[in-house]
Amino acid sequence: MAVLVIAEHDNQVLKTSTLNTITAAQKINNEVHLIILGKDIQTLSDTSKSIHLISKVLKCDNEKLENFLPEILAPIIVKTALSYSHVIAPASTFGKNLLPRISALLDTTQVSDIIGIENENTFIRPIYAGNAISHVQTNQEINLLTIRPSSFEKCENSGGEATLEEIPFIDSEAKTHFVSKEVSKSDRPELGSARIVVSGGRGLENSDNFKLLYDLADKLNAAVGASRAAVDSGYIGNEYQVGQTGKMVAPELYIAVGISGAIQHLAGMKESKVIVAINKDLEAPIFNVADYGLSSDLFQAIPEIIKELDLLNQIDS
Amino acid sequence: MKLVYFIEIQMKVLVAVKRVVDYKVQIRVKSDNSGVETQNVKMSVNPPDENAIEEAVKLKEQGIATETIAISIGEDKCQDVLRTSMAMGIDRSILVKSQNSLEPLAVAKTLKKIIEKEKPDLVLMGKQAIDDDSNQTGQILSALLNWPQGCFISSLKIEDKKVLISREVDEGIEKLETSLPAVLTCDLRLNTPRFASLPNIMKAKKKPLEAIEIETLDIDIEPKIKTLKVIDPPTRKAGVMVKDVKELVQKLKNEAKVI
Ligand SMILES: Cc1cc2nc3c(=O)[nH]c(=O)nc-3n(C[C@H](O)[C@H](O)[C@H](O)COP(=O)(O)OP(=O)(O)OC[C@H]3O[C@@H](n4cnc5c(N)ncnc54)[C@H](O)[C@@H]3O)c2cc1C
Ligand SMILES: Nc1ncnc2c1ncn2[C@@H]1O[C@H](COP(=O)(O)O)[C@@H](O)[C@H]1O
């Protein structure tokens, strides 16, 4: 039986997490279908047909689906899910909010936040903030999985020729109503999929000082991240938090600035390829996971790095 | 004769509290790779569950909630997290005794049974247990009850029967309006949990704690997922300290080739 991937999108474009999820689905079975639920998603569904590796796109278009309330989405997906062996969603706040509802309605146990797939029944997932790795086996009629996007490459967005099928909307009379969404606007790359991430912690002391970090990020075309302490202190919004209770990232380069390296923070970034730590405390645990450590005052180091990068750019050009 | 009718408005809040290895403990994988060592390590209330407790107690103090109940499912020792909850201000507790640790689906089914009996108007829980990191139970429970779901909340306002919440999502903050009864899961940013004072710890010892055997609830708690092995995460190879910014930038460019 085929594998069903639940698309995460904003009614206009697919989120990168969807492309990561499709790659994970491919490791289970060659036949992967994509289900897209939303409002005014004709264009989105049409363009999704060309995603490499997808053989069918299922679409449910209704104005009540605009804000992705799980109470409305779940019953529709459940009906479709019955003809699949696996249903997979990204372990983003979208997927985490939605898939367990489907698990309840199907009376099936979901496996959360998978980082590796051994075979169609055996999955690898971190527990205890990544301080232990669990290999689990599930052999249910329908297997529900959320996968950690940063652990799977994104698939090609072109070359496919999927068919498009419309599925009926089911009205669930949800008692929950969408009020608003405060979305931070930024021209920087998306934190979850950026090649370089520059993260700041309590060491930055206030939100004004975060500008230093933004300058560095812009020089490197990097996304900005933060520790929970920085978010809790109001230096930056919650959507930037990296860690056990924030986002999971695995960029090629992660630069931790003024972050001590608590296990809950490491949980979200220690899969990064290259880690740089800048901290004035030589004993800070972040140095234990860093490939390159710089023991220095960040207020001195960051402007210097920016200067060095400018120099490099001059030489290169 | 004049008759006065009192309409008593009841608002019961139920809080689900999990007993987990304290977040400060450096955990150890068992040598037979069957799991993580939980014997003789410090155990505590799952951190976001403390936020759920705090919120429930605040609702009572504000006169919105009339009764607060904590519930924990697990071994006998879960009594300690229930006593902690009551020391923080929860009125009474229920312990559902289970020898084996349960999957989120089984936990949610157990909670549902208790909810059918206690009939709370609001269920508060943590967004995620920091041991299994499943992040499922609240969502499952909400679906089983067919109640509104509000996950990862960082603010809560209850006016009459209207419930206003802010949810922390990947893009920022989402605001929703819903109604009671509802299931809400709490983020650590919802509030700052209070410390239990010594007099309150003493008082909590006298608060009611009811114990129920899970077998008497007649639910399917068989695990559906099998743990094959639990292993240590791969360690990163030791890095180097650079002496200054110049060396750092050179190494990133020429050695790591990432900039
Ligand atoms: C259940 C739970 C979940 C959690 N989830 C997360 C999570 O998802 N993500 C997360 O990040 N945290 C999380 N935390 C919090 C975590 O435990 C730490 O408290 C937090 O990561 C600390 O943030 P920090 O490193 O910025 O602050 P601190 O630990 O205060 O460290 C600040 C660092 O900055 C350095 N510094 C200060 N000034 C300078 C300077 N001028 N130049 C250079 N260095 C300087 C200091 O030496 C210090 O090492 C969680 C905690 C719990 C209990
Ligand atoms: N054994 C349990 N007893 C009481 N509450 C639990 C239990 N397991 C999970 N919960 C609740 O469900 C939340 C989410 O847990 P999880 O889905 O396992 O990440 C926790 O924060 C608790 O509020």
Domain ranges of chain A: 3-166, 191-316
Task: Tell me the mean pLDDT in the region A48-57.
Answer: 95
Task: Tell me the mean pLDDT in the region A246-254.
Answer: 97
CATH class of domain segment(s) B12-228:
alpha beta
Cα–Cα nearest to A93, from B105, B38, B139, B196: B139
Question: Within 13 Å and on the Cβ side, how many CA atoms surround A262?
Answer: 16
CA B125–ligand 2 middle distance (angstroms): 7
Cα–Cα nearest to B143, from B111, B97, B168, B96: B111
Confidence of residue A13 (pLDDT cuts 50, 70, 90): very high
Q: Which residues does chain B have with pLDDT short of 50?
A: none
One-letter amino acid identity for A5? V
Q: What is the pLDDT of residue B209?
A: 98
Question: Within 13 Å and on the Cβ side, how many CA atoms surround B93?
Answer: 30
Q: How far apart are CA A309 and CA A302, in angstroms?
A: 11
Q: How does pLDDT run across A57-84, given as a tens digit for each residue?
A: 999 999 999 999 999 999 999 999 999 9
Q: What is the DSSP letter of A21?
A: H
Q: What is the pLDDT of residue A173?
A: 85
**Which residues are near ligand 1 (CB < 6 Å)?**
A 201-203, 227-230, 241-246, 258-260, 262, 264-265, 268, 279-281, 284, 297-299; B 23, 47, 130
**CATH architecture assigned to A3-166:** 3-Layer(aba) Sandwich (3.40)
**CATH architecture assigned to A191-316:** 3-Layer(aba) Sandwich (3.40)
Sheet containing A132-138, strands listed edge to edge, beginning at the edge strand earlier in sequence: A116-119, A122-127, A132-138, B225-231
Q: What is the pLDDT of residue B3?
A: 56
Q: Do B143 and A252 touch (CB under 8 A)?
A: no
Q: What is the pLDDT of residue B158?
A: 96
Angle between helices A93-106 and B137-145 (to 10 degrees): 50
Confidence of residue A295 (pLDDT cuts 50, 70, 90): very high
Tokens describing residue A168: 């009926």
Pick from A18, A135, A176 the residue to mutate for testing the B interface (most B CBs within 10 Å). Answer: A176
Q: What is the pLDDT of residue B52?
A: 98
Sheet containing A54-61, strands listed edge to edge, beginning at the edge strand earlier in sequence: A110-114, A143-147, A86-90, A3-6, A32-38, A54-61, A163-166
Q: How far apart are CA A24 and CA A53, in angstroms?
A: 11
CA angle B170, B174, B179 (to 5 degrees): 135
A94 touches chain B (CB under 8 A): yes
Cα–Cα nearest to A174, from A76, A94, A59: A76
Pocket test for ligand 2, best of B23, B125, B151, B185 (most atoms within 8 A of CB): B125
Ligand 2 pocket, B74 CB below 6 A? yes
3-state secondary structure at position B132: coil
Cα–Cα nearest to A230, from A204, A209, A212: A204
Q: What is the pLDDT of residue A139?
A: 85
Q: What is the mean pLDDT of chain A?
A: 96
Domain range summary for chain B, segments of one domain joined by +:
12-228
Q: How far apart are CA B98 and CA B101, in angstroms?
A: 7
* CB-count exposure of residue A307 (10 Å: 0-12, 13-18, 19+): middle
CA angle B65, B71, B75 (to 5 degrees): 165
Across chain A, where does the E strand assignment appear? 3-6, 32-38, 54-61, 86-90, 110-114, 116-119, 122-127, 132-138, 143-147, 163-166, 177-183, 196-200, 223-226, 253-257, 274-279, 292-295
> Does residue A128 register a pLDDT over 90?
yes
Lowest mean pLDDT among A52-56, A143-147, A275-279: A52-56
Q: What does pTM read for this prediction?
A: 0.96
The domains spanning A3-166 and A191-316 adopt the same CATH topology: yes
3-state secondary structure at position A46: helix
Across A189-299, where does the E strand assignment appear? 196-200, 223-226, 253-257, 274-279, 292-295
3-state secondary structure at position A87: strand
A124 touches chain B (CB under 8 A): no
SS3 content of chain A, % helix, strand, coil (to 5): 30, 30, 40
Question: Within 13 Å and on the Cβ side, how many CA atoms surround A78?
Answer: 20
What values do phi and psi take at A225, rounded to 5?
Answer: -130, 180
Q: What is the pLDDT of residue B10?
A: 86
Tokens describing residue A130: 């990544």
Confidence of residue A313 (pLDDT cuts 50, 70, 90): confident
